[in-house]
Structure 1
């Protein structure tokens, strides 16, 4: 597992200590993927209701609060596949 995935899992668990009510997958290009659900965040490639894909730089910026998830989506730096409502909930949680 990559350092970027390890760092992102820890950051997501800190930002969302209660986990997420649905199942979401974050794909970090060239690094791997993360699943977040009611059990919290972990490295994995399970099926999810929504999948968000971004570069490591964009994803790290979102976790740090330097990159707005909505702006990243609108500029093509973040792609969403699946339930857009869930993606918006995640974006709000990450902001």
Structure 2
């Protein structure tokens, strides 16, 4: 069983500031079997906070295993979304940018 905290912490080291240039978005993660987190991506910087943001750009609901798989490229995010393993509300197109913000291993 993957630990959501570990998955979230790894995001910081994989973050690509160039991909986030000019962005100002909040990615809310509701992790069904762990704590909630949100990522504040602002003009090339990443700030990871625990809890819930009151006005996220996009909210993603999933479990730790799916989050880990999507973030490390083992699970296609679109397939997870289509199969119901990943739910998104708000600016759903933003969710597709996660793979460029956090490229490969």
TM-score by length of 1: 0.80
Instruction: Tell me the CA shift for residue 93 of structure 1.
Output: 3.2
**Partner of 2:29: helix, strand, or coil?**
strand
Q: Higher helix fraction: Structure 1 or Structure 2?
A: 1
Contact 2:16 2:100 in 1 (8 A): no
**Partner of 1:25: helix, strand, or coil?**
strand
- Higher radius of gyration, 1 or 2: 2
Q: Which 4+ stretches in 1 moved above 4 angstroms? A: none
For structure 1, list consecutive stretches of 5 or more residues without a partner in the other structure: none
For structure 2, list consecutive stretches of 5 or more residues without a partner in the other structure: none
Question: Considering only aligned residues, what root-mean-square deviation do their CA atoms show, in Å?
Answer: 2.2
Contact 2:16 2:102 in 1 (8 A): no
Q: Distance in 1 between matches of 2:16 and 2:47?
A: 7
User: Number of residues paired by the alignment?
Assistant: 93
Higher RCO (CA 8 Å, separation ≥ 6 residues):
2
